[in-house]
Amino acid sequence: MRQRAHQLIKRSLVTAAVCAAAGAGLLLPDIVQRRPIDVLSLIFAAATFAAALFLFWRAWRAADALGLGMETIRTGVLNLVADREAILPPELGRGQPPEIEAMLGSLTLYQDAIDRERRGPDRRLVTVLGALAGGVVVMTEQGQVSLLNNAARELLGAERARVGTSLFAALSRETVAASLARVARDGQPREALFERLDGVKLQGRIVPLPGDEGAVIIFPPVELERHRPGVQFDLELHDVPPVAEAPSLDTPLDDLPVLVVDTETTGLDVTTDRVVSIGAVCAHGSRLFKSRMLDDLVDPGVPIPTASTRIHGITDEMVSGARSFPEVQADLERLSRHRVMVGHNVPFDLTILRHECERHGRPWEHPVFVDTLRLASLLNPSLDRHDLETLADLYRIEIAGRHTALGDALVTAELYFRLLPRLQQQGFRTLGDLLWFHCAEAADVIAGQRDAGWITTQPEYLRPE
């Protein structure tokens, strides 16, 4: 069995002290009595001092490895606190202390046990729905897919139909909306005809969920070349957040209503460039509510430069016929009411939204905001870069839909959730604490944002002292 790091450190330090004392004991009498030092004594003393230095170095390395390992374990635990789906580091590399490997192993066993307990009923649901020959899709009232079995996925197209995405990426919005209107009017299940985006007509049955929370669509059994029973689901997509109340400086972070927002634009000049897409999702404390989100293209009224299209993939054809900024901004305003705006480098988004409001004659209310770029730069000062990709890799956040407004908003939300327990661990537990840390300490980031002409201050009524 490998020697434990704490035992290695103790033994190395004790042995080093004995070696150093032995060397000093050989030389000290001659030094005190001012006699010439014998060559053999000098050689032996040098050897003992060298041994002491080596043992001190070995203890230093063991302590360093132990500290780094503990920080890795702490990061894994905090990630689990922030996100129950977070993945623990699979391995820590060679040369890790046995204590760290044992802690990681125990934490992995604990996560597996909790996961088995939590997913026990879910696995039975997976087996039952996956065994059905017919397709089953559950959608939220906004059209998000919250449950999908393999038969439905293969019928609608695996590249389009996925949990968490819009059903309208696979089915015609008009046919789904017409079916929903019928069942809402009649209050009971109805046969319906749906149209796939490739023009294929699909016969199905639509069943409303209670409380207008969405619907279940059932397709009759279809013959599939390959059928593997299974089901994807995330029924929490139907959950709604608590009613948001205007936050104060005393609002606990665990009870803070936020709206995580991101925009895609025609460029980076906040005074002249236009918004082409807005993505936003509500959260309360450290819980995301995908039932309340915004994912809209915006007609900017001007051509989109090719350089910008290369980044976000939005073309003039895609925004042709899209809603205008005032229409989308009205939805964003309803979502953001009584919520703190969270974003990565969010002063840019807020500033360009303000200019768009001024351009279209819409009122602008300066929101309270939290910038995850500022927070990440303060909590990870040793990083050279603090972009979303780097931070997602550091905090083990899966990236999907990067450089789309909603995709970036979802990644930013997960980053915010990862940062919350680290902030709370350092004593920042209220909105006031967070704003003080956020607005007073990130001087370099704030200076760069101010030089770019972006919004950098909080509203007058809620500025930290």
pLDDT above 90 for 348: yes
Note the pLDDT tens digit of each residue in 138-175: 998 878 888 888 888 888 887 778 887 788 888 888 88
> Mean of the per-residue pLDDT values for the chain?
84
CA distances from 67 to 70, 72, 73, 97, 249 (A): 5, 9, 10, 10, 35
Instruction: Find the range with the poorest average confidence among 309-313, 373-377, 401-405.
Output: 401-405
What is the C-alpha separation between 26 and 267, in angstroms, rounded? 75
Which range, 63-77, 288-302, 365-379, 391-405, has the best average confidence (pLDDT)? 365-379
What is the C-alpha separation between 422 and 78, in angstroms, rounded? 7
Number of residues in the chain: 465
What is the C-alpha separation between 450 and 446, in angstroms, rounded? 6
CA distances from 465 to 433, 460, 462 (A): 10, 11, 9
pLDDT above 90 for 448: yes
Instruction: Find the range with the poorest average confidence among 234-243, 388-397, 442-451.
Output: 234-243
What is the C-alpha separation between 271 and 294, in angstroms, rounded? 24
Confidence class of residue 121 from pLDDT cuts 50, 70 and 90?
Answer: low
CA distances from 336 to 124, 259, 260, 292 (A): 38, 6, 9, 11
User: What pLDDT does residue 227 have?
Assistant: 31
Closest CA to 12 of 47, 45, 52, 44: 52
CA distances from 78 to 206, 282, 341, 422, 425 (A): 42, 22, 23, 7, 10
User: What pLDDT does residue 231 have?
Assistant: 59
Which amino acid, one-letter code, is at 268?
L
What is the C-alpha separation between 189 and 208, in angstroms, rounded? 7
User: What pLDDT does residue 43 have?
Assistant: 85
Question: Which residues are CB-contacts of 74 (< 8 A; sequence separation ≥ 6)?
Answer: none
User: What pLDDT does residue 216 have?
Assistant: 93
User: Could you give phi then psi for residue 417, rounded to 5 degrees?
Assistant: -65, -35
Q: Mean pLDDT across the stretch 39-55?
A: 85
Confidence class of residue 1 from pLDDT cuts 50, 70 and 90?
Answer: very low
- Report percent pLDDT > 70 for the chain: 89
User: Could you give phi then psi for residue 339, rounded to 5 degrees?
Assistant: -120, 145
Residue 239 burial by Cβ neighbours in a 10 Å radius (0-12, 13-18, 19+): middle
Joined tokens for residue 46 = 């040098």
Q: Mean pLDDT across the stretch 24-40?
A: 77
- Determine which helix (DSSP H) or strand (DSSP E) holds 137, and give its type and residue range: strand 135-140
Question: Which residues are CB-contacts of 375 (< 8 A; sequence separation ≥ 6)?
Answer: 416, 419, 423, 437, 438, 442
Q: Mean pLDDT across the stretch 373-378?
A: 94
What is the DSSP pairing of strand 340-343 with strand 257-265? parallel
C-alpha R_g of the chain: 30
User: What pLDDT does residue 229 have?
Assistant: 41
Closest CA to 266 of 298, 238, 244, 294: 298
Which amino acid, one-letter code, is at 233?
F
User: Could you give phi then psi for residue 174, rounded to 5 degrees?
Assistant: -65, -45
CA distances from 32 to 152, 224, 262 (A): 91, 94, 74
Q: Mean pLDDT across the stretch 35-55?
A: 83
- Report percent pLDDT > 90 for the chain: 33
DSSP state, residue 37: P
pLDDT above 80 for 39: no
- What pTM was computed for the model? 0.64
Neighbours of 179 (CB within 10 A): 22
Q: Cite the beta strand spans of 174-298 per DSSP E.
A: 190-195, 201-208, 214-219, 231-233, 257-265, 275-284, 287-297
What is the C-alpha separation between 224 and 22, in angstroms, rounded? 81
pLDDT above 70 for 463: no
What is the C-alpha separation between 52 and 171, in angstroms, rounded? 74
What is the C-alpha separation between 312 and 401, in angstroms, rounded? 10
Note the pLDDT tens digit of each residue in 265-286: 999 999 999 999 999 999 999 8
What is the DSSP pairing of strand 231-233 with strand 145-149? antiparallel
Note the pLDDT tens digit of each residue in 11-25: 888 898 888 888 888
Q: Mean pLDDT across the stretch 119-139?
A: 75
Q: Which residue has the higher pLDDT, 107 or 226?
A: 107
What is the C-alpha separation between 454 and 351, in angstroms, rounded? 6
pLDDT above 70 for 84: no
Instruction: Find the range with the poorest average confidence among 8-22, 28-42, 242-256, 383-397.
Output: 28-42
- First-to-last alpha carbon distance for the chain, in angstroms, is 56
What is the C-alpha separation between 437 and 464, in angstroms, rounded? 9
Q: Which residue has the higher pLDDT, 233 or 145?
A: 145
Joined tokens for residue 167 = 């059903």
Q: Which residue has the higher pLDDT, 75 or 222?
A: 75
Joined tokens for residue 292 = 């309340």
pLDDT above 90 for 73: no
